[in-house]
Structure 1
Amino acid sequence: MSDIRVLVLVGSLRAASINRQLAELAAEIAPDGVTLGTFDRLGELPFYNEDIDNDAVPEPVAALRRRGAESDAALVITPEYNGSIPGVLKNAIDWLSRPFGEGALKDKPLVVTGAALGRYGGVWAHAETRKSFGIAGARVLEDLQLSVQTTAFADKHPRENAEVVANLRDIVGKLAAEVG
């Protein structure tokens, strides 16, 4: 069996964010034969504009769409900003959803997870992100969810929280099993 390639999108641009640390952890604990690769250029994407969505899209957009098309699945790890999706992530969804009905993640399994400061650990943003990716054409795995309060890490890396490690390992394994 060839490697399963999972595109990872992190909804926070901060270099040391808990969500970026979760993405690193997911890559570390992925099962054999599963490769996770984070697309680190979300901050370079211009706001979605149909006027520039043509054969000569900006290079960061072409790179994102190429990575999406080359992937077998996607893992989205995001915080919650003001009760919803971070703008940079919503913008990526908009670019990935085009051309309408034929986006780069069409019919590919996708899981949304992450951590946020709020008392619910980002569940609102995660639900909205799942909805948006579903409309954009991805096959969202609704049953695979992990929303963690950032306070659970008490200034430690998520890899030091055994429950988070076990849950994330389970999610990545089940996401990979959905590739087919």
Structure 2
Amino acid sequence: MAQNTVLVLVGSLRKESVNRQLAELAAEVAPDGVAIARFDRLGELPFYNEDIDNESAPEPVVALREAAAGADAALVVTPEYNGSIPGVLKNAIDWLSRPYGAGALKDKPLAVVGAALGQYGGVWAHDETRKSFGIAGPRVVEDLELSLPAASLDGKHPRENAEVAAKVRDIVGKLVAEIG
């Protein structure tokens, strides 16, 4: 079976983030033949600046773009900060959108999931992330959604919740099925 690679971007930099745990769960429940490649360097990316987006782009930017180019699909796992996208994730979207019309994720399937405080589980940030990535070039798979209220996990790792694990497994499987 051919190996498919799913790039995972986590919108939280915190080591014990529930969203980081959801990314770990995605790796654990991924179907056979699927490699989960988490890019853990979003905090190293400089703010997007067209003046430095050239043949001498900073190394973390080059690494992000190479990881995206090598992936067949992308899974974005993000919290919601103040009703919107975390800054590190929006910055990554900006870097991945370039060069304009030919970014490293162009036309690749992408899904957005995550957890956040509050009863809606980050739905605003997830919607905004889908919108921004949709403009940036990937093919956003709109019906692959999981907006999990973090409190529903009772402080446990998401893998300990069979329903959450099943949803994440389903989303990863359906995302891979979208690879053309």
Bin for the TM-score computed over the shorter chain: over 0.9
In structure 2, the residue matched to 1:68 is: 68
Query: Structure 1: where are the runs of 5+ without partners?
Result: none
For residues 70 and 37 of structure 2, the distance between their equivalents in structure 1, rounded to whole angstroms, comes to: 11
| Shift in Å, 1:2 | 1.6
| Shift in Å, 1:177 | 0.6
For residues 38 and 25 of structure 1, the distance between their equivalents in structure 2, rounded to whole angstroms, comes to: 12
User: With structure 2 as the length reference, what TM-score do the two structures score?
Assistant: 0.99
In structure 2, the residue matched to 1:12 is: 12
For residues 164 and 19 of structure 2, the distance between their equivalents in structure 1, rounded to whole angstroms, comes to: 12
Please show how residues 1-180 of structure 1 align to structure 2 within 5 Å: 1-180=1-180
User: What SS class does the counterpart of residue 140 from structure 1 fall into?
Assistant: strand
Q: Please tell me the root mean square deviation across aligned C-alpha atoms, in Å.
A: 0.5
2:28 partner amino acid: E
User: What SS class does the counterpart of residue 48 from structure 2 fall into?
Assistant: coil
User: What SS class does the counterpart of residue 93 from structure 2 fall into?
Assistant: helix
| Shift in Å, 1:37 | 1.1
Runs of 4+ in 1 over 3 A off after TM superposition: none
2:30 partner amino acid: A
| Shift in Å, 1:118 | 1.8
Q: Deviations over 1:132-174 (max 9, x none)?
A: 0000000000001000000011111000111101111000000
User: What SS class does the counterpart of residue 80 from structure 1 fall into?
Assistant: coil
1:88 partner amino acid: V
2:132 partner amino acid: S
User: What SS class does the counterpart of residue 37 from structure 1 fall into?
Assistant: strand
For residues 72 and 18 of structure 1, the distance between their equivalents in structure 2, rounded to whole angstroms, comes to: 25
| Shift in Å, 1:119 | 1.6
1:16 partner amino acid: E
2:4 partner amino acid: I
User: What SS class does the counterpart of residue 9 from structure 1 fall into?
Assistant: strand
2:39 partner amino acid: F
> How many residues matched?
180
User: What SS class does the counterpart of residue 114 from structure 2 fall into?
Assistant: strand
User: What SS class does the counterpart of residue 16 from structure 2 fall into?
Assistant: coil
| Shift in Å, 1:122 | 0.3
User: What SS class does the counterpart of residue 8 from structure 1 fall into?
Assistant: strand
Query: Structure 2: where are the runs of 5+ without partners?
Result: none
Q: Deviations over 1:32-80 (max 9, x none)?
A: 0001111000000000000000000000000000000000000000000
User: With structure 1 as the length reference, what TM-score do the two structures score?
Assistant: 0.99
